[in-house]
Chains A and B, each alone.
Chain A
Amino acid sequence: MKFQKEYRYIGKAFPRKDAVGIVTGKAQYIDDLELPRMLHGKVLRSPYPHARIKQIDTASAEKSRGVKAVLTHKNVPRWMTGTPRHVRVLDEKVRFVGDAVALVAAETEAQARDALALIEVTYEALPAVYDVEDALKADAPQLYDDFPGNLLPLDVAVFGPNTLSAIELGDVEKGFADSDFISEGTFSYENIPNPLPIESPGVIAEWSEPNHLTVWSATQCVYWHRHMMLPRMGFPDIRTIGTHCGGSFGSKNYSTQPMLYAAALARATGRPVKVCFSKAEHFGAFVLRLGSRFRGRVGLKKDGSVQAVSGEWLVNTGAFSDQTQAQIAVGLGEAQLMLRCSNWDLQAKLVCTNRCPSGMVRGFGGQELESALLPVFEDAMARGDIDPVEFFKKNFVKPGEGYYWREGNWWISKGKDYSEAIESGAQAFGWAEKWKGWHKPTAVNENKRIGVGVSVHGNADVGESFSEAYIRLNPDATATIHACVAESGTGQRSNLCKMVAETLQIHPDKVSITPPDSLMNPFDFGLVGSRGTYAVASAVISAADDAKEKLFEMAAPILKTTPDDLDSKDGFVFVKRDPDKGMPWRKALGLMQTCTGFGRFEPDYSKPNFLILFAEVEVDTETGKLDLLRVVTATDVGQIIDPPSLEGQLHGAIGAAGIDTAIFEESLIDKNSGHMLNMNMMDYKWRSFPELPRFENRILETSIQTHRYKAIGVGEISTSPGPSAVLMAASNALGTRLKGYPLTPDKILEAIGKISGGRS
């Protein structure tokens, strides 16, 4: 469906600028980069989930071949991270199996690894706690002296003084009184899956002057290693440079721990140091999804409108919080987008426990809250015989309706009514034929039962934070974008070139973008929250306009007209009413000179994006195996910029701890030892090519008031509706409410009474 004008370049598929680099193996990722005199850093990790380091002897390690530095909590820089600041680079206490104990830098990776084995540590083991509610008990082991009860503070102003930590609105008692159907319960989304980009995190750090640090890293937000880390490291001057990023999905927005380890070792040795995590470290000591448990009550009217939501959202962040308060704020905002309701009393609690930290992952709190909250609506919807598609159509926020966003302000949606996208998706999926009612299978064929489910997600962070860009026009009729934008797989660097090409009316081949380097580019917050298409693009489009204006100012006197009368196409400035009268850019600029425009984007949280996801599953009641047969997504993006990259983002629903967290993805922690049991790519399950479901995207393009090209990003949220949609589909297939993720065969067989005593 298309209501927009045809563009020369926008909306058409062009090969990505880095395509040849990628297919020839020349694209440079962090571990491909080597600097002269570079050392390799390795981390000694705790075998205990909770312990005090009584003694640590590094003498033999220091003498080991090739070793240049050994750091422990005694001699490591006193930089502090975490929110609030509670995480040391190395501490005398360890709080999860895999927590860092010591750092070694050596000439080779093997030498550094060998030296780790020579460090002698005496631990005093302490009792550990893993469950979010156990951690809140009076006699629970305490992780931090500063946080009694293992509760991390929520009033930390990550988004200003009114940062959302609860939704309090209207009168929930009245809301329940007005409800026709109320359901109540507790539901958990606590598989703590790993987003698991194929490339493990890595950073190279080098101190060139006493207080000047350069970091190279695989990240999706290059500037974060500067602006987020400056206050944590005592304000050195940090230059941050992005390499190609081998997947991130939020987890490599930045890489706090690897960066601090590399920076500490680089400072100690006076040489550049590379710290690239092994896959085991990536599994056990980097970033998992938040543990999320909702306990509460929801009320609906017969017409499906939500009347009240009250309860508690228990967030388990593991051993520390890097930005979990920000994820709670965004999660609470996103819940209001999908569940428009006048009466809320939803309180978050942020709890630390003795396992690998949770942190930023695609879905950023919203997926975690949704996956625990929506299942509680099932009872009420089932009793009211409410079709979930109608439920989402009624309750997803519409233009003119309001919500509190993460910083605590009340926003009125100036976005879209997504009803048409919902209908289009339902039609593509065949919802009307497949939906047989709550807890009723679509089809039964002996022991194979088919069911369908649906869920939605939306995010107003598409207009998040600030972006700045310069555009330089060159006399050879090319343009250079100066913007600090990473390539982590979204293709956004190429898409920005395309939007500038359209604005300047030159071929995309004539537009390039500078490497993501904070020294040569102005500030950009980074590719998070699907903000590339609206926020970053707005800055580059205005910069292109600004540059064009300057070009016209230079050309006007020569053409004896005013700048307003000029236009430009294919590097030729001409008089609008007399297009033959004009000159190439080089005549206006001068043979060697250039002109530069500046553009800036300021935050706008009034335009939520949207995705609905339909899932069809088949459950085998003999084996308990759940097969994902088919996925249909539908959205409205205003204007497609690049069809294949958008499709790729939507296909991403299957990857990065998305839909499969309902089926088999989980990080398993042994509650006796605190060890993770599946920290390798054989035991951590992932979907392979032959198991791909049929996948279809319905993408509408009805213009949205963002920037000139009326487009909105949607990539981030494709993982988010999947888990609750699959849970619903499986419950419908089996005719019984399933109680938890992931739906591994043991859980399914237990739910249908075939076995007892499955994992709780």
Chain B
Amino acid sequence: MIDREAHESETIRLTINDVVQEFEIGGRAYQVSPYETLAETLRETLGLKGTKTGCNQGACGSCTVLMDGIPVLACMLLTIECDGKAITTIEGLQNQATGQLDEVQQAFVDHSAFQCGFCTPGLIMASKALLSINPSPTEAEIKEALSGHYCRCISHYHVVEALLSLAGKSGK
């Protein structure tokens, strides 16, 4: 018997790091189930392991990615909710052709703005979003923008320094 659902399964389209990805919704292998989170799709289906799942409870900020330029928690979004959206992950920042790091990534390198580095992709994505709407943030604005990000090693001071070094440098 032909499974009607399998034939007419719904397809969603996400643009992930400038590449259009189509997913069939469903419960079979290679399909995205209706309860799959964006973090799971990114990490497990697409192998984009740079997005880290820290708490998987929407509380630590580690899984932050950009959706149409806005920072969102990938562990709190269902992939089916992201139909038609453009997602940028940490893998999407570096210039793939030249290998050049994004300015935020470079600033994190230059200021050793990490220790264990697990929370770093999330912090970089949130920083990227901040600088895109506010190219010259004050220290207080930086701290506010990153207030949802947990870093147990305490790289905070170096992160703030890294972002202050970028403030006003570019209008990107």
Which residues of A line the B interface, CB within 8 A? 13, 15-16, 18-29, 31-32, 195-199, 244-249, 278-279, 487-491, 644-645, 647-649, 651-656, 680-682, 686, 688-690, 692, 695
Contacts and interface: CB of A to CB of B under 8 A. Distances in A.
A689 B127 CA distance: 13
B157 A695 contact: yes
Contacts of A692: 143, 156-157
Contacts of A652: 115, 153-154
Given A28-B49, A689-B143, A690-B147, A15 B152 contact: no
A25 B90 contact: yes
Nearest to A33: B49
A16 B153 CA distance: 16
Interface in B147-169: 147-158, 160
B116 A199 contact: yes
B58 to A, nearest CB: 8
Contacts of B110: 15
B157 A651 contact: yes
Contact of B112 (A13, A26, A244): A13
A25 B150 contact: no
B101 to A, nearest CB: 7
Contact of A22 (B91, B120, B146): B120
Contacts of B62: 198
Contact of A689 (B111, B112, B115, B147): B147
Nearest to B53: A31
A458 B171 CA distance: 48
A390 to B, nearest CB: 30
Contacts of B111: 644
Given A644-B112, A648-B112, 8 more contacts: A19-B112, A23-B120, A198-B52, A199-B118, A244-B116, A245-B116, A246-B54, A279-B54
B55 interface: yes
B34 to A, nearest CB: 13
Contact of B152 (A13, A491, A656): A656
Interface string B87-114: 0011101100000010001101111101
Nearest to A643: B112
Contact of A655 (B89, B90, B147, B151): B151
17 contacts: A15-B110, A20-B105, A20-B109, A22-B108, A22-B114, A23-B121, A29-B52, A198-B60, A199-B116, A247-B152, A644-B112, A645-B115, A649-B115, A652-B154, A681-B54, A681-B60, A681-B150
Given A655-B154, A689-B149, A692-B156, A278 B115 contact: no
A566 B157 CA distance: 45
Nearest to A656: B152
B114 to A, nearest CB: 5
A490 B110 CA distance: 16
Contacts of A244: 116-118
A23 B158 CA distance: 14
A659 to B, nearest CB: 10
Given A198-B152, A489-B153, A24 B55 contact: no
Nearest to A651: B154
A198 B94 contact: no
A666 to B, nearest CB: 16
Interface string B61-89: 01000000000000000000000000001
A278 B56 contact: yes
Given A489-B117, A689-B143, A23 B109 contact: yes
A226 B118 CA distance: 25
B144 A690 contact: yes
